[in-house]
Amino acid sequence: MLLFVLGVGDVLVAMALLSPHLFPPFLATLLVGFSLLKGSWSILTSLGVGYKLDWMGALDLLAGLCLFLLHKGFTLNIYWWIGVMLALKGVWSVIIGFMR
């Protein structure tokens, strides 16, 4: 169930990166916080158990940073690619979380 909820959060962050005009600033700020906290938690807990390459946590941190910059007016084409990667990760999490 937790994986399902986190996957839905990833999909929402990805949607905000892909279509920022659909998300008001307050919701975008919540999604930035969600993504940064989720990524930080993932990386810290992975390091705690000796796993040094947590690409999923790094993607969450990167998505949170990109969404923050996007809503501050900085736009780059790579935001779209990060949004697509995060959407794929989120959909995978939703499917696996739903199956469990």
**pTM for the predicted model, two decimal places:** 0.92
Could you report the per-residue pLDDT of 10-54, keeping only the tens digit for each? 999 999 999 999 999 999 999 999 999 999 999 999 999 999 889
| Distance of alpha carbon 77 from alpha carbon 64, whole angstroms | 16
Say which residue the tokens 């969450």 belong to. 60
CA distances to 17, 25, 85 from 46, rounded to whole Å, are 26, 31, 20
Domain parsing of the chain, residue ranges: 2-99
Look up residue 48 and give its amino acid.
G
Q: What is the pLDDT of residues 59-72, one digit of tens each?
A: 999 999 999 999 99
Q: Which residues contact 27 (CB under 8 A, 6 or more apart)?
A: 16
Cα dihedral 83/85/87/91 (nearest 10): -170
